[in-house]
């Protein structure tokens, strides 16, 4: 590794990837009409409203993981129940917030995460993952779980939106 590579820091690298994912999410969602954003076109396909709402929960968790609990918002317990891991994706019948609200929350909150990541030291990322359950076995350090939350987790759910677009006959957003 060269000194220029190490001076950038892991947080800056994660932030660059996260900013690309935020932009991709915005492109995926831009031309979806609000009245179909929460539609389930076929069984077992999560709609964009659910995916973006679900992802939005994890920006706050990520702020906590990187030691910026002071910037994390308290999440409405009803939102947690609607969008938490394992919650069912339901047809939008008024049970979910609007497209604009969930998308704005997602974009605004992840931009804050992206702004804060470069300030996190590489040493901080080597700390043990403080979460409970099986996740620390799979992602043993703060850095590993933050990379998952800001990379793989986002792309996994954004890929679901890409599939939803195709099922809805919308095609690629690129």
Structure tokens at 125: 């990322």
Q: Two tokens at 103?
A: 């998308």
pLDDT in tens, 11-70: 999 999 999 999 999 999 999 999 999 999 999 999 999 999 999 999 999 999 999 999
Question: pLDDT per residue over 70-101, tens digit each?
Answer: 998 888 888 899 999 999 999 999 999 999 99
- CA distance linking residue 162 with residue 25, whole number of Å: 10
pTM over 0.85: yes
Angle at 138 between CA 135 and CA 140, to 5 degrees: 85
């Amino acid at each position: 590794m060269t000194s220029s590579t190490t001076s950038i820091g892991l947080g800056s690298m994660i932030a660059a990837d996260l900013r690309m994912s935020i932009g991709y999410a915005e492109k995926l969602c831009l031309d979806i009409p609000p009245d179909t954003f929460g539609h389930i076109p076929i069984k077992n396909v999560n709609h964009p409203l659910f995916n973006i709402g679900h992802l939005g929960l994890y920006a706050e968790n990520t702020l906590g993981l990187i030691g910026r609990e002071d910037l994390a918002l308290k999440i409405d317990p009803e939102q947690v129940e609607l969008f938490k891991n394992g919650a069912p994706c339901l047809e939008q019948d008024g049970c979910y917030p609007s497209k604009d609200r969930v998308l704005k929350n997602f974009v605004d909150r992840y931009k804050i995460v992206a702004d804060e990541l470069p300030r996190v030291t590489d040493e901080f990322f080597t700390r043990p993952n403080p979460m409970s359950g099986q996740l620390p076995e799979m992602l043993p350090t703060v850095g590993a779980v933050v990379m998952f939350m800001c990379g793989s987790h986002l792309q996994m759910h954004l890929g679901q939106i890409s599939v939803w677009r195709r099922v809805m006959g919308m095609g690629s957003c690129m």
